[in-house]
């Protein structure tokens, strides 16, 4: 699934980024070989607000399970938002993050959580970078022709952040 050229001695690591939400959960998968990043896939798991919440949680859980099963990432990064939201929204977001983290854990993925500031720093070099600049950098870094949807782009940014941190660890 990777379109990157294999460099001798550079092992490919597949990384999943997740931008959790109870209505829309973005996901993005990239391959990392040395300093090179290759886009693999991205998308959004959407749930209908008309459905009962337990059913929506199961859809999120099954949805990310399908992505993990199909693309078999080894590492996963999850965006951690908790500032500037009210307790009710935080509770709802927590439910979605809970089943996403559970799915990642059950598939044996190595998980790290990153605040939006850390994600922006990793992708755009500046923790307070505006959203548009982060999305532009995602396109540049992954050599994308078209812009992915908002939630998918955020998830790809988290995957890039995860890649950058795993590279630091390997050094």
Show binding-site residues for Mg(2+). 19, 79, 151
Looking at the Cβ atoms of 93 and 144, the one nearer to a second copy is 93
Angle between helices 131-141 and 150-170 (to 10 degrees): 60
> Does position 82 bind a second copy by CB under 8 A?
yes
Q: Is-catalytic flag, 19?
A: yes
Single out the residue of 6, 51, 106, 143 in contact with a second copy (rule: CB under 8 A): 106
Q: With CB under 8 A, what is the number of residues at the site for a second copy?
A: 29
Q: How many residues does the chain have?
A: 171
CB distance 56 to 92 below 8 Å: no
| SS3 state of residue 33 | strand
Single out the residue of 1, 6, 90, 170 in contact with a second copy (rule: CB under 8 A): 90
Look at the alpha carbons of 15, 74, 119, 98 in this order and tell me if their dihedral is positive or negative.
positive
> Does position 165 bind a second copy by CB under 8 A?
no
Helices of type H across the chain:
53-71, 87-106, 116-124, 131-141, 150-170
DSSP label at 52? -
Q: Is-catalytic flag, 80?
A: no
CB of 85 to a second copy, least distance (A): 6
Q: Mask: binding to a second copy, 31-70, rule CB under 8 A, as x and -? A: ----------------------xxx-xx--x---------
Single out the residue of 10, 98, 131, 167 in contact with a second copy (rule: CB under 8 A): 98
Residue with tokens 């935080």: 90
End-to-end CA distance of the chain: 26
> Does position 88 bind a second copy by CB under 8 A?
yes
For binding to a second copy (CB under 8 A), which residues are involved? 53-55, 57-58, 61, 82-83, 85-99, 101-102, 104-106, 111
């Amino acid at each position: 699934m990777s379109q990157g050229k294999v460099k001798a001695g550079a092992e490919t690591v597949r990384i999943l980024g997740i931008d959790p939400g109870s209505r829309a959960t973005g996901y993005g998968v990239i391959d990392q070989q040395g300093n090179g990043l290759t886009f693999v896939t991205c998308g959004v798991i959407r749930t209908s607000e008309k459905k009962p919440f337990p059913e929506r949680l199961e859809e999120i859980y099954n949805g990310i399970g399908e992505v993990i099963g199909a693309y078999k990432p080894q590492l996963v990064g999850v965006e951690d938002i908790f500032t500037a939201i009210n307790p009710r929204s935080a509770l709802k977001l927590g439910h979605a993050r809970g089943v996403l983290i559970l799915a990642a854990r059950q598939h044996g993925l190595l998980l790290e959580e990153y605040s939006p500031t850390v994600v922006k720093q990793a992708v755009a070099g500046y923790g307070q970078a505006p959203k548009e600049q982060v999305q532009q950098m995602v396109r540049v870094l992954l050599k994308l022709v078209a812009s992915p949807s908002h939630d998918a782009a955020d998830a790809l940014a988290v995957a890039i952040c995860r890649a950058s941190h795993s590279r630091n660890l390997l050094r």
